[in-house]
């Protein structure tokens, strides 16, 4: 069994041993992945989690670069800002029924698959 990239370069190859394939050769490119690439491939775990006993292969990962930060992790932990008072006052109505929010879908004229109107 051979594993190739899209550009047809070989990554690894394995030899059938019973019902299992045993990897016969490991390419150097697998060893040269950056910490960021491993971090992304493992689902963005924190460096502290990887150092703990929860991840047994942590010793094989590259060291965490000094002052390292994952932009995706930072963005995903952000919260929305509270609107400023100027934005709030611009959308408020002055008199009743000046601004109306409603559901526009209403009742459908077509019968559904369950024969409902």
Residue with the larger pLDDT of the pair 86 and 66? 66
Q: Is the residue at 45 inside a domain? A: yes
Looking at the fold, whether 67 and 81 belong to one and the same domain comes out as yes
pLDDT score, position 101: 74
Residue with the larger pLDDT of the pair 78 and 81? 78
pLDDT score, position 98: 81
Rounded to an integer, what distance in angstroms lies between the CA atom of residue 28 and that of residue 45? 25
Note down the domain range covering 18. Answer: 1-32
Looking at the fold, whether 39 and 74 belong to one and the same domain comes out as yes
Instruction: State the average pLDDT for the chain.
Output: 76
Q: Is the residue at 111 inside a domain? A: no
pLDDT score, position 55: 72
Contact at 8 Å (CB) between 29 and 37? no
| Of 115, 35, 17, residue with least CA distance to 73 | 35
Q: Is the residue at 114 inside a domain? A: no
Of all residues in the chain, the percent with pLDDT exceeding 70 is 76
């Amino acid at each position: 069994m051979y594993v190739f990239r899209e550009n047809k370069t070989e990554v690894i190859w394995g030899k059938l041993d019973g019902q299992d394939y045993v990897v016969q050769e490991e390419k150097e490119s697998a060893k040269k992945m950056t910490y960021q690439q491993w971090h992304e491939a493992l689902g963005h775990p924190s460096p502290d989690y990887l150092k703990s006993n929860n991840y047994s292969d942590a010793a094989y990962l590259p060291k965490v670069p000094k002052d390292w930060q994952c932009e995706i992790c930072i963005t995903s932990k952000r919260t929305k800002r509270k609107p400023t008072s100027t934005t709030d006052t611009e959308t408020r109505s002055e008199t009743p029924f000046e601004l109306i929010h409603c559901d526009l879908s209403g009742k459908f004229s077509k019968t559904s698959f369950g024969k409902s109107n």
